[in-house]
């Protein structure tokens, strides 16, 4: 018999997530489920590098990147959480899902308290979803929730407008539960910074936010329901990207990240400073405007894919062993990855054959700092495609892509590691964000599959649908994935041990300061 969590992971990987996780053991027996991930050294202080993410409340924190929402996970709790092997119970010790997938009944863990000592109640949970309906949490929409109701002191039911398969991971595991005694009186949370604005039930409480410096000081919550917090104080400091790794080496920080894959070699032999590399949860890809000639022809898109030596591009830019882009978009290593989905290997002869001797000139919109275009130009030129690179900052690029004023656009972003519903969101046009920018792909079969997988309650069935979506993406190439990126977290191993989270923190975020890393077990 396999160990329970490993078994759960394997089942989740096979797409059996929600149904199985609902049967997971209660959380509050000896600390939270999954807290046995690894031991955390007990230290007085851990400092890590990030940027200023604004006022740390769910309604004012910056959602222009994952740093703000991740900071909130240390102050607040969610109903579910994730360890390195899958979804685990958290504020909800367990849950039941109705046969039609619309009702989630969560059983609240006993003993959870807000940082002002008041108990976390089912009314708080119901209030949270009601409040988010009026004042959205911008990191993750809760729009699929129809209503939430506290059934008794232990049970709370969340009713969805329709079945939504990613609910446990992408909503219950992301939306911070709010103290109703604080927020019920707040009409405009977007300006509220009064008492309790950052009050959660999480492992840390906000001790100080220095707005000018973008620096946060969090102190351990001595009454944390899920276990003893072994780090006395946590500081998130606004630091320059150029000096972050040096700062860890000099002992000014305990944790910082870089995308430079050569950092491992540079730190080899250092007995104190170590590197933890994440799964390749970030993607660098070309958005293809399939509505504009000649890219409306599949053979031209295919020719581009064959012409690009993606392994070389990845190796040069990341300075690390490449994780070559897959035409089905979902990265290898994701439990949703379809190994059967075709992907085009570097084959210039085949590319030339597809173009049939025709020459094309294509325009690529890229960031001024992107190095990939220079590498792609000679590769494409060799098959008869002249690549004109137009550099533009992020805002300009986004506007051009949103308005369809482009042929090719280079994008890089996270969000490909978590639940595969991103495949629907990118291509349904329901969201006006960078993930969806540059979308011009219209495919009736794909749209039907996308809708069906989002509502698929049978995990095996869902996996099959997601795989079929990958097959269509690989066939049609509305986007060409160049490569997947890892993040390299440099840390002081004597004082802190970061961890990788299954599918990335929350909805696929490659940050490693999972709240479990601060807990004793």
Q: CA dihedral in degrees (141, 419, 79, 521; nearest 10)? A: -140
C-alpha closest to that of 72 among 513, 495, 413: 513
121/236 with CB nearer another protein: 236
Q: How far is the CB of 238 from another protein (least distance, A)?
A: 6
18/66 with CB nearer another protein: 66
- 316 close to 327: Cβ distance less than 8 angstroms: no
Q: How far is the CB of 157 from another protein (least distance, A)?
A: 25
Q: How far is the CB of 447 from another protein (least distance, A)?
A: 17
C-alpha closest to that of 398 among 64, 16, 97: 64
In angstroms, how far is the first alpha carbon of the chain from the final one?
24
Q: How far is the CB of 318 from another protein (least distance, A)?
A: 13
467/484 with CB nearer another protein: 484
Tokens 């607040």 found at: 76
- 414 close to 66: Cβ distance less than 8 angstroms: yes
53/376 with CB nearer another protein: 53
211/345 with CB nearer another protein: 211
Q: How far is the CB of 437 from another protein (least distance, A)?
A: 8
111/429 with CB nearer another protein: 429
Q: For helices 372-381 and 298-307, what crossing angle results, to 10°?
A: 110
- 149 close to 67: Cβ distance less than 8 angstroms: no
Q: How far is the CB of 496 from another protein (least distance, A)?
A: 16
Contacts of 269 (CB under 8 A, 6+ apart): none
What's the CA angle centered on 409, arms 291 and 277, to 5 degrees?
135
- 86 close to 9: Cβ distance less than 8 angstroms: yes
C-alpha closest to that of 401 among 285, 310, 485, 259: 285
Alpha carbon 53 to its chain's center: 17
Q: How far is the CB of 393 from another protein (least distance, A)?
A: 7
Cα–Cα dist 468/462, whole Å = 10
Q: How far is the CB of 191 from another protein (least distance, A)?
A: 8
Sheet strands (E) in 125-250: 145-150, 155-160, 204-210, 215-220, 231-238
Q: How far is the CB of 495 from another protein (least distance, A)?
A: 16
Q: How far is the CB of 174 from another protein (least distance, A)?
A: 10
Cα–Cα dist 328/474, whole Å = 5
Stated as kind and residue range, the H or E segment containing 345 is none
How do 231-238 and 43-50 pair as beta strands?
parallel
93/128 with CB nearer another protein: 128
DSSP 200: -
- 92 close to 106: Cβ distance less than 8 angstroms: yes
Q: How far is the CB of 7 from another protein (least distance, A)?
A: 32
Tokens 């149904």 found at: 19
Cα–Cα dist 438/401, whole Å = 5
- 35 close to 514: Cβ distance less than 8 angstroms: no
30/399 with CB nearer another protein: 399
Q: How far is the CB of 119 from another protein (least distance, A)?
A: 30
Which tokens is 434 given?
A: 């960078």
27/61 with CB nearer another protein: 61
Q: How far is the CB of 179 from another protein (least distance, A)?
A: 20
242/444 with CB nearer another protein: 242
92/174 with CB nearer another protein: 174
Cα–Cα dist 145/126, whole Å = 11
211/460 with CB nearer another protein: 211
Q: For helices 459-476 and 298-307, what crossing angle results, to 10°?
A: 90
376/414 with CB nearer another protein: 414
Tokens 């104190």 found at: 272
């Amino acid at each position: 018999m396999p160990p329970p969590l490993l078994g759960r992971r394997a089942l989740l990987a096979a797409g059996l997530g929600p149904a199985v996780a609902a049967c997971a053991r209660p959380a509050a027996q000896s600390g939270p489920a999954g807290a046995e991930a690894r031991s955390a050294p007990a230290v007085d202080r851990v400092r890590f590098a990030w940027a200023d993410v604004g006022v740390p409340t769910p309604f004012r924190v910056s959602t222009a990147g994952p740093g703000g929402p991740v900071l909130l996970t240390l102050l607040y709790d969610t109903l579910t959480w994730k360890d390195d092997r899958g979804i685990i119970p958290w504020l909800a010790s367990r849950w039941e899902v109705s046969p039609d997938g619309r009702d989630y009944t969560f059983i609240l863990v006993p003993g959870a308290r807000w940082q002002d000592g008041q108990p976390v109640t089912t009314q708080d949970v119901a209030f949270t979803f009601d409040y988010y309906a009026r004042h959205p949490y911008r990191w993750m929409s809760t729009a699929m929730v129809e209503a939430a109701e506290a059934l008794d002191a232990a049970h709370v039911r969340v009713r969805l407008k329709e079945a939504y398969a990613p609910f446990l991971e992408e909503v219950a595991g992301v939306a911070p539960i709010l103290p109703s005694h604080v927020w019920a009186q707040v009409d405009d949370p977007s300006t509220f910074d009064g008492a309790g604005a950052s009050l959660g039930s999480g492992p840390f409480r906000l001790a100080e936010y220095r707005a000018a410096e973008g620096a946060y000081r969090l102190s351990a919550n001595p009454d944390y329901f899920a276990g003893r917090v072994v780090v006395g104080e946590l500081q998130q400091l606004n630091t320059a990207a150029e000096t972050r790794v040096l700062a860890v080496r000099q002992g000014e920080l305990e944790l910082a990240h870089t995308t430079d894959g050569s950092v491992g070699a540079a730190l080899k032999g250092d007995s104190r400073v170590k590197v933890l590399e994440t799964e390749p949860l970030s993607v660098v890809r070309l958005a293809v405007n399939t509505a504009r000639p000649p890219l409306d022809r599949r053979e031209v898109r295919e020719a581009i894919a064959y012409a690009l030596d993606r392994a070389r591009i990845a190796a040069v830019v990341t300075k690390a062993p490449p994780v070559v882009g897959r035409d089905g978009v979902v990265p290898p290593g994701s439990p949703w990855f379809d190994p059967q989905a075709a992907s085009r290997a570097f084959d210039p002869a085949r590319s030339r054959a597809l173009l049939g001797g025709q020459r094309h000139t294509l325009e690529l919109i890229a960031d001024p700092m992107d190095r990939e275009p220079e590498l792609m130009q000679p590769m494409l030129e060799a098959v008869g495609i002249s690549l004109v690179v137009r550099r533009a900052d992020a805002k300009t690029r986004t506007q051009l892509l949103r308005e369809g004023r482009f042929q090719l656009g280079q994008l890089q972003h996270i969000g490909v590691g978590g639940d595969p519903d991103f495949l629907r969101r990118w291509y349904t046009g329901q969201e006006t964000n960078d993930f969806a920018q540059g979308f011009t792909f219209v495919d009736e079969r794909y749209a039907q599959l996308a809708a069906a997988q989002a509502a698929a309650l049978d995990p095996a069935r869902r996996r099959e649908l997601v795989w079929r979506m990958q097959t269509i993406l690989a066939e049609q190439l509305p986007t060409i994935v160049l490569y997947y990126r890892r993040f390299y977290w440099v840390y002081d191993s004597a004082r802190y041990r970061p961890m990788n989270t299954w599918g990335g923190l929350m909805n696929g975020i490659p940050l490693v300061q999972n709240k479990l890393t601060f807990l004793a077990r």
